[in-house]
Amino acid sequence: MKSPRDYLDFLKDKFPEHIIDISPSPSYLISEDLIEDNCMVLKGIKDRSGVKILLALKAFAMPSVFPIISKYLDGVCASGPYEAILGREYFGKEVHTFSPAYTDNSIKEVVDFSDHVVFNSINQFYRYRDYVKSNGREIGIRVNPGYSEVEVPLYDPCQVGSRFGVQPDELVDADLALLDGLHFHAMCQQNSDVLGRIVDSFKNRYYRIIEKVKWVNFGGGHHITRDGYDRDLLVNILTDFKKEFPNIRELYLEPGEAVVFNAGVLVATVLDIVNNGMKIAILDTSAENHMPDVLAMPYRPEILGAGEPNEKRYNYRLGGITCLSGDIIGDYSFDDPLKIGDRLVFTDMALYSFVKNTMFNGIHLPSLVRFSLKGNSFEVVRDFNYIDYKNRIS
């Protein structure tokens, strides 16, 4: 199993200096080669288990690389009408949409562009099932499997008070004649042993309904492409489930992070260095605007060539460019003193970054860049400017 340090050394070769040097700053730099490597791992799971795998657009949505991903995966899962439209327009395969609730307007767009529509409550199921069916779409209900091992409450969909998933007692007397499938999602960056325990709980709570539907979606959060993930166990869980329920025609997984794990970085530049009891480097990027999960999780992203505080000789706190006092990325150490103009490379920034970022304070967004070392290509897919900011607020 690779250590975090081994991964940093691995990524230095995949994101070489000459590519970093020609990238705009700030920019999200996406490796087509690493995305394809991840997709080939996922295809191996598909081939061995017969499962279908969807890209979770909530984690990564960059249409310019969809042709790569769509060669290997079966479609996308969306969380609302715009993601569904994007998936239909640019991915060209299955589109599955789940939302905590639909409006009369949003359900029309979702149905127009989705193959599966998944409801979060019996109320919504009853309200829209006839409309969905009359348009030839399949209907699912998200259920609460009653078990999770997510440690951060913000990301735990099974905690008491969660908005997500129908409970077993709500389905006892429900009219489920138009129901095609069940969906659950209870994982976050976890291994297949956790999935096994969730599936056991899911079966205990919904066995009689599982026997009557034709597909089940095991959701996302599966860290399949991470080194050390037990893929053999995952295949066994999937194949055993299909053997136990021969009525199930399709099983689905919908990873997001696993598709682009370690396949993107955020390139940033040191703008200034100040002192306030410690050295603080101000960057042209922002945790608040460009790396929102750094503050939401919270977590400290890795930087190529940097270490933990006091691991290397020179220590710095890295701060963002917004006026938010808490716009702090973290504390790091370096072999050499940082200088104004130095480039820093934050790793694993393809996921939950540009899909969630903002232009708070009128700060421009990082450019979107794709490249391939194998194909000897480099393209700035998108730059952002004042017009983008104005159109978001005007």
Per-residue confidence (pLDDT) for residue 2, from 0 to 100: 47
Per DSSP bridges, beta strands 367-372 and 377-382 are antiparallel
What domain range includes position 64?
A: 50-260
Residue at which a domain ends, from 221, 238, 260: 260
* Mean pLDDT in residue range 245-254: 98
Residue at which a domain ends, from 234, 260, 286: 260
- Residues 145, 223 share a domain: yes
Residue-wise pLDDT for 199-212, tens only, equals 999 999 999 999 99
- Residues 192, 87 share a domain: yes
CATH of the domain at 18: 2.40.37.10
- Residues 255, 219 share a domain: yes
- Residues 213, 136 share a domain: yes
Query: Within a domain: residue 45?
Result: no
Does residue 384 carry a pLDDT above 70? yes
- Residues 58, 156 share a domain: yes
Average pLDDT of the chain is 96
Return the residue matching tokens 């694993």.
348
- Residues 196, 128 share a domain: yes
Residue-wise pLDDT for 2-12, tens only, equals 455 666 788 99
Residue-wise pLDDT for 303-362, tens only, equals 999 999 999 999 999 999 999 999 999 999 999 999 999 999 999 999 999 999 999 999
Query: Within a domain: residue 149?
Result: yes
Q: Pick the more confident residue, 156 or 384.
A: 384
Q: DSSP string covering 49-110, please?
A: H--EEEEETTT---GGGHHHHTTTS-EEEESSHHHHHHIIIII-SEEEEE-S---HHHHHHH
CATH of the domain at 141: 3.20.20.10
- Residues 68, 161 share a domain: yes
Per-residue confidence (pLDDT) for residue 151, from 0 to 100: 85
> pLDDT band at residue 225, thresholds of 50, 70 and 90?
very high
Q: DSSP string covering 169-199, please?
A: GGGTT---TT--EEE----SSB-HHHHHHHH
Query: Within a domain: residue 43?
Result: no
Residue at which a domain ends, from 231, 260, 289: 260
- Residues 130, 273 share a domain: no
Query: Within a domain: residue 244?
Result: yes
Query: Within a domain: residue 35?
Result: no
Residue-wise pLDDT for 271-305, tens only, equals 999 999 999 999 999 999 999 999 998 999 999 99
Per-residue confidence (pLDDT) for residue 370, from 0 to 100: 98
- Residues 287, 148 share a domain: no
Share of residues in the chain with pLDDT > 90 (%): 93
Is the pTM of the predicted complex or chain greater than 0.85?
A: yes
Residue-wise pLDDT for 34-43, tens only, equals 999 999 999 9
- Residues 206, 102 share a domain: yes
Does residue 363 carry a pLDDT above 80? yes
* Mean pLDDT in residue range 76-102: 97
Per-residue confidence (pLDDT) for residue 156, from 0 to 100: 87
- Coil, strand or helix at 265: strand
Query: Within a domain: residue 41?
Result: no
Best CA proximity match to 336, nearest among 306, 372, 378: 306
* Mean pLDDT in residue range 4-27: 89
Give residues with Cβ within 8 angstroms of 72, minimum separation 6: 36, 39, 40, 42, 43, 46
Query: Within a domain: residue 207?
Result: yes
| Total tally of structural domains belonging to the chain | 2
Does residue 1 carry a pLDDT above 50? no
- Residues 280, 248 share a domain: no
Does residue 32 carry a pLDDT above 60? yes
Q: Answer whether 199's CB lies under 8 Å from 251's CB.
A: no
Residue-wise pLDDT for 134-184, tens only, equals 999 999 999 999 999 988 888 888 888 899 999 999 999 999 999 999 999
- Residues 57, 20 share a domain: no
Query: Within a domain: residue 378?
Result: yes
Per-residue confidence (pLDDT) for residue 65, from 0 to 100: 98
